[in-house]
Amino acid sequence: MRALAKTSPGPGLELIDLPEPTCGSRDVKIRVLKAGLCGTDLHLEAWDEWAAATVKPPQIIGHEFYGEVVEVGSSVDSVRVGQRASGEGHVVCGECRNCRAGRRHLCIRTVGIGVNRDGAFADYVVIPASNVWVQPDDLDPDVGAVFDPFGNAAHTALSFPIAGEDVLVTGAGPIGVMGAAIAKHVGARYVVVTDVSDYRLELARAAGADRVVNVARERIADAQQSLGMREGFDIALEMSGHASAVEETIANMNHGGRIAMLGLPAAPFPIDWGKVITHMLEIKGIYGREMYDTWYRMSAMLASSASLETAVRSVITHRFPAEQWQDAFDTARSGECGKVIMDWS
């Protein structure tokens, strides 16, 4: 089979031929049809400090995917051959305190598909049956391929009650744009999205944002004034990982506001804890998806709203055949894009 792999330490990837993976008794083998490019994949291709400390080549990368089930293990009765499916990218131990308490997304021994074990940038991927999310037959394969980042957006946006609230989304990457669309779907009053890229801000506007702010030219406070907001934001979804975004977010929150933080910073940065304390702000870190409550919510929201599915699909701006993987990576790295999909069919 074809596989895009990190064959040795150092920058770069190779599209190589490998034997098809073996399906264990509790596993499911999926023929990959579509796969999404993630920032994690860019780190692995570039072989930065994090990648060098995390990945042990040879390793097939990729963890956002959609495909067709072609084989199930002898002990699997929850998935059938022929079904279409996406996959949860975090494989958990099932035995630590959090796993046993039903908080699997907090497993202390999580293993990442495409990071710590062979991933989905290949013709076939094998994952535990418990990680398979069976999709409706009529789901757009491209939407199925972005269920992982859509789950990040849903986990972040649904962390706090959002109906009727004023919501700030900092960072108009694909997850931020999907977070804005979810906020509108759930019933937020105003959704304001910030970034420094006009291209990505237009994606956010198309997905339903009431106001977009290029913070290279304008301040969040100006957006509040233009919308007639007399108080600060009730909810913030921090998707950028930039210190300046966090600083300006805290400065524009209503007293008692709540901030869900998904964006990973490149380095530590200071926070005005005095304002956090005196304004009684709540800050919550977000990682991955709640397993599997977030997945149920994603499927239910899409099933009940054609407009939300359209908004999610609109985030996908570029599609490449698997053989053009270098073009896909270059496009994703450019920032002048939304979600990039590779076609493995």
Catalytic annotation, residues: 40, 43
Contact 9, 57 (CB under 8 A): yes
Instruction: Find out whether 92 and 106 touch, Cβ atoms under 8 Å.
Output: no
Residue 178 CA to residue 174 CA, distance in Å, equals 6
The partner residues of 91 in beta bridges, in order of sequence, read: 111
Helix (H, G, I), strand (E, B) or coil at 60: strand
Angstrom CA distances, 231 to 148, 259, 283, 296, stand at 34, 16, 19, 34
Tokens of 114: 């495409």
Minimal CA–CA distance to 286: which of 147, 112, 157?
A: 157
End-to-end CA distance of the chain: 12
180, 204 in Cβ contact below 8 A? yes
- Contact status, residue 341 vs residue 331, Cβ threshold 8 Å: no
Tokens of 103: 């908080």
CA-to-CA distance for 147 and 65, rounded, in angstroms? 8
| DSSP states of 258-284 | EEEE-PPPSS-----HHHHHHTT-EEE
Sign of CA dihedral 246, 155, 107, 5: negative
**Beta-bridge mates of residue 11:** none
CA distance 235 to 64: 28
| Of 270, 268, 272, 230, the residue nearest 251 (C-alpha) | 272
Matching residue, tokens 């994606």: 203
Q: Specify the 3-state DSSP secondary structure of 45.
A: helix
